[in-house]
Amino acid sequence: METYKRLKMRINRIYYLIIISLISTITQAQIAKENPFTLVYENAITKNKKGQVNIHPVTYKLNDLDISANLYIPANYDPSKKYPAITVAHPNGGVKEQTAGLYAQRLAELGYIAITADAAYQGASGGTPRNVDKPQNRIEDIHGMADFILQYPGVDTERLGALGICGGGGYTLKAVQSDKRFKAVATLSMFNTGLVRRNGFLNSQINTTQERLQQASNARAIETSGGDIIYSGVDGISDEELAKVSTLFYRQGYEYYFRTHAQPNSTFLYTTSSLIDLMAWDATDGIELIDQPLLMIAGSNAQTLYLTLDAFPKATNAKSKELFLIDGATHIETYWKPEYVNQAVDKLEEFYKSNL
């Protein structure tokens, strides 16, 4: 009798798991139907409609890797006409479906053909090991977006602009130094990844630079000898852990990436060995090579503002340059908060219209 009861309970448990699995599958299918492009920002495109901005997922090769990108096409697009174009580089840990997609869509609404791509080794793009985060790769990603968009029907090759957000902003500053296909460059909440990885956020780890370089060197030694890939950073956070994060920038970042705007391909993990390259790199090295018009946007309350304020005066040869502060905005709030996004987009519209 006892055996029969246990068997019945086991069968009921199996039925329960099957039902839960079916519900999950149906739910995921419904979500995919309602959000086929997996965009996670407000007012994102869910269906391409005639007479409106359209989105086209594309894949192209860059150094033998498959790069996953989204093209945003203006309403009533006519390939026989000429359109200015913008490349949008995403933040560290981010992917094209988050804030980079939001700004690309808003730029397309203004008449630009915009492209945003997942970095190589990250997101939906190819490359192994996963989540390598080396500056030379991120810079090449921006060159690669330019390669692709400049061949797209209707793009005016003499009117290409660049926009970089957070870490993508630092890499954009570097990419345009030598790539003169870009005629105007803008950054939003620029993050100098090399400086922060080297000195710590707000220069909080200057005393441990050599120790962390040794850890990165050890990680590479393990990798190259066939051992495990060692990662730094985080890939998820509990509510209890989130409540203990004292730095506003990181707390809001975790809320954005792991709660309000989570996207499955987004992660804060990166290979520890990447620090060998990151910690010896700086977004402002050679910044005097920028001779294009430059716009740098940041929130007045952003804890990362010091990075923009450090870079801006060093761009001594920019054809013109402007620092625009969004009053009251923090770093992460410029990613999504409508009143701050609107101010940033209005400024970008003014800038690109004058310089492209």
* CA angle in degrees (0–180, nearest 5) for 142-145-151: 145
Rounded to the nearest 10 degrees, the angle between the axes of helix 135-149 and helix 167-178 is: 70
Q: Which residues contact 36 (CB under 8 A, 6 or more apart)?
A: 46, 47
Per-residue pLDDT at 25: 42
Q: What residues pair up with 321 in beta bridges, in sequence order?
A: 294
- Per-residue tens of pLDDT for the chain, all 356 residues: 545 445 454 555 455 445 444 444 444 444 556 789 999 999 999 999 999 999 999 999 999 999 999 999 999 999 999 999 999 999 999 999 999 999 999 999 999 999 999 999 999 999 999 999 999 999 999 999 999 999 999 999 999 999 999 999 999 999 999 999 999 999 999 999 999 999 999 999 999 999 999 999 999 999 999 999 999 999 899 999 999 999 999 999 999 999 999 999 999 999 999 999 999 999 999 999 999 999 999 999 999 999 999 999 999 999 999 999 999 999 999 999 999 999 999 999 999 999 99
Which residue type occupies 99?
Answer: T
**356, 184 Cβ separation under 8 angstroms:** yes
Q: What residues pair up with 297 in beta bridges, in sequence order?
A: 188, 324
Per-residue pLDDT at 11: 55
Cis peptide before 129 (omega within 30 of 0): yes
Q: Which of 123, 128, 135, 131 is nearest to 70 (CA)?
A: 123
* Cα dihedral: 167, 170, 175, 178 (round 10): -170
Q: How far apart are CA 7 and CA 253, in angstroms?
A: 48
Q: Which of 324, 84, 292 is nearest to 188 (CA)?
A: 324
Per-residue pLDDT at 35: 86
Q: What is the pTM of this model?
A: 0.91
**194, 280 Cβ separation under 8 angstroms:** yes
> What are the two backbone dihedrals, phi and then psi, of residue 236, each rounded to the nearest 5 degrees?
115, 155
Residue with tokens 């901005």: 53
Q: What residues pair up with 271 in beta bridges, in sequence order?
A: 231
Q: How far apart are CA 124 and CA 25, in angstroms?
A: 21
Q: How far apart are CA 213 and CA 217, in angstroms?
A: 6
Q: Which of 62, 63, 190 is nearest to 115 (CA)?
A: 62
